[in-house]
């Protein structure tokens, strides 16, 4: 079936099933195109919570759909590709976190939303890349356990120097690979470009950035800036909307490795299949859900960076 026909069928079926199609900023162009809402992790969690639709089709990765299921238990949450995970989220286990907590009983656990529901349930408060600094500042404890991203953790530690920060050693394989040489080369070739970077990049990369922000923060920055050229330090799915919203501006991708294989799994056929079969459904056991919701609710009540 051709793409236009598939898109039409998805839209029709979504209307029949009272479904909201949401897509993360890293999804394939055609998936972002059919979505009712695109956004970063924080925005999508908030949309999931407030929608009055009875079904949420979450085009993203597992932890994102799980967050939707935690926040909106009365909705059916579908993840078109059950195998779309996040390697960083898999780098922390409940047992590992419990051990670390025992070693630091006086610390508050601040967990990046890129984590399983079970790990969130062991945490005091969650954060995303768009509110991490405000969340860390809002915590009264002097000691923080920052889980699971060491790069986001080090970024928080630098911005919140009055707290002792202990970082879990997880990382995003896509962002962590971005090399200083690649940025230096892009900067040399485009000296008039501003470099925007996601906080999942290494500290050495963040040192070189003009602006550090979440994926949605990059749309705001590129649109509001008077600059004409930007070096993009995040996954390449972000380019679709960046280019569409800024047709006269130029976006430079500094590396061919800026691709998250899990975010690219979902295709139009998968979205259609999941609406036809109403699966795979994402659910969270009620005891875990209630604990994880507390950590997410605290995050949602915190200010944005």
The residue ranges that bind ligand 13P (CB under 6 A) are: 25, 40-41, 114, 128-129, 172, 200, 214-215
**Residue 73 binding target from ligand 13P, ligand SF4, none, CB below 5 to 8 Å by type:** none
Min dist. Cβ of residue 235 to ligand SF4 (A): 5
DSSP string, 25-58: TTS-HHHHHH-SEEE-HHHHHHHHHH---SEEEE
- 81 vs 279: CA distance, rounded Å: 9
**Residue 66 binding target from ligand 13P, ligand SF4, none, CB below 5 to 8 Å by type:** none
Which of 59, 260, 275, 282 binds ligand SF4 (CB under 6 A)? It is 260
87 binds ligand SF4 (CB under 6 A): yes
Question: If we measure between CA atoms, which residue out of 51, 64, 6, 57 comes closest to residue 35?
Answer: 57
Min dist. Cβ of residue 60 to ligand SF4 (A): 8
CB atoms within 10 A of CB 180: 12
128 binds ligand SF4 (CB under 6 A): no
- 82 vs 286: CA distance, rounded Å: 20
Instruction: Pick the stretch among 117-125, 159-167, 172-180, 266-274 that binds ligand SF4 (CB under 6 A).
Output: 172-180
Min dist. Cβ of residue 90 to ligand SF4 (A): 9
Between the CA of residue 211 and those of 42, 130, 215, 216, 250, what are the distances in Å?
Answer: 19, 13, 12, 13, 17
172 binds ligand SF4 (CB under 6 A): yes
- 111 vs 123: CA distance, rounded Å: 6
Q: Write out the two tokens for 21.
A: 């199609």
Min dist. Cβ of residue 165 to ligand 13P (A): 19
Query: What are the residues binding ligand SF4 (CB under 6 A)?
Result: 61, 86-88, 114, 172-175, 200, 235, 260, 262-263
């Amino acid at each position: 079936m051709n793409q236009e026909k598939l898109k039409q069928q998805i839209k029709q079926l979504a209307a029949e099933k009272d479904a909201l199609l949401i897509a993360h900023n890293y999804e394939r162009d055609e998936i972002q195109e059919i979505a009712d809402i695109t956004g970063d992790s924080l925005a999508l969690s908030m949309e999931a919570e407030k929608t009055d639709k009875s079904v949420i089709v979450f085009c993203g990765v597992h932890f994102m759909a799980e967050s939707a299921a935690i926040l909106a238990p009365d909705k059916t949450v579908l993840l078109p590709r059950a195998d779309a995970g996040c390697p960083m989220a898999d780098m922390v286990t409940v047992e590992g976190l419990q051990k670390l907590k025992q070693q630091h009983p006086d610390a508050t656990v601040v967990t990046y939303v890129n984590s399983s529901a079970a790990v969130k349930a062991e945490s005091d408060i969650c954060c995303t890349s768009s509110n991490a600094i405000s969340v860390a500042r809002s915590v009264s404890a002097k000691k923080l356990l920052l889980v699971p991203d060491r790069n986001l953790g080090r970024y928080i530690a630098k911005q919140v120097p009055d707290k002792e920060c202990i970082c879990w050693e997880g990382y995003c394989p896509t962002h962590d690979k971005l090399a200083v040489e690649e940025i230096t080369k892009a900067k040399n070739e485009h000296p008039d470009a501003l470099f925007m970077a996601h906080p999942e990049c290494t500290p050495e990369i963040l040192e070189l950035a003009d602006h550090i922000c979440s994926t949605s923060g990059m749309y705001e920055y590129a649109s509001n800036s008077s600059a004409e050229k930007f070096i993009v330090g995040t996954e390449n799915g972000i380019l679709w909307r960046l280019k569409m919203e800024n047709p006269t501006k130029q976006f430079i991708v500094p590396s061919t490795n800026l691709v998250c294989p899990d975010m690219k799994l979902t295709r139009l056929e998968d979205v259609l299949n999941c609406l036809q079969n109403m699966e795979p459904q994402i659910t969270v056991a009620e005891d875990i859900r209630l604990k994880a919701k507390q950590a997410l609710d605290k995050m949602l009540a915190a200010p944005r960076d």
